[in-house]
């Protein structure tokens, strides 16, 4: 799923690029020991909170790809 996030971080849609880049950064911080598991879970799940994402997302396919990738990395923790 990291590959999908890397792909989304350069997709040309600011709402997706920002969230994907943040997910990658949060994941790196967690992997490096900078976040507890509960902090990590909360941060990545906030990235795809439905209300805010639905306001900004202008492409359902990219939105679904982002949500799927973010949820997948949150389950790895």
Give 3-36 pLDDT, tens digit per residue. Answer: 999 999 999 999 999 999 999 999 999 999 999 9
- Residue 60's region, left for phi above 0, alpha for psi from -120 to 50, else beta, is alpha
| CA distances for 3 relative to 33, 51, 55, 69, angstroms | 21, 26, 25, 9
Structural domain count of the chain = 1
Of 13-17, 32-36, 48-52, 58-62, minimum mean pLDDT range: 48-52
What pTM does this model have? Answer: 0.89
**pLDDT on residue 55:** 87
- Which range of residues forms the domain containing residue 63? 2-76
């Amino acid at each position: 799923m990291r590959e999908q996030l890397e792909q989304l971080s350069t997709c040309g849609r600011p709402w997706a690029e920002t969230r994907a880049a943040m997910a990658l950064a949060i994941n790196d911080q967690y992997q490096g020991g900078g976040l507890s598991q509960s902090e990590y879970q909360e941060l990545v799940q906030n990235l795809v909170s439905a209300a805010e994402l639905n306001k900004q997302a202008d492409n359902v396919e990219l939105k679904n790809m982002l949500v799927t990738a973010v949820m997948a990395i949150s389950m790895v923790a």
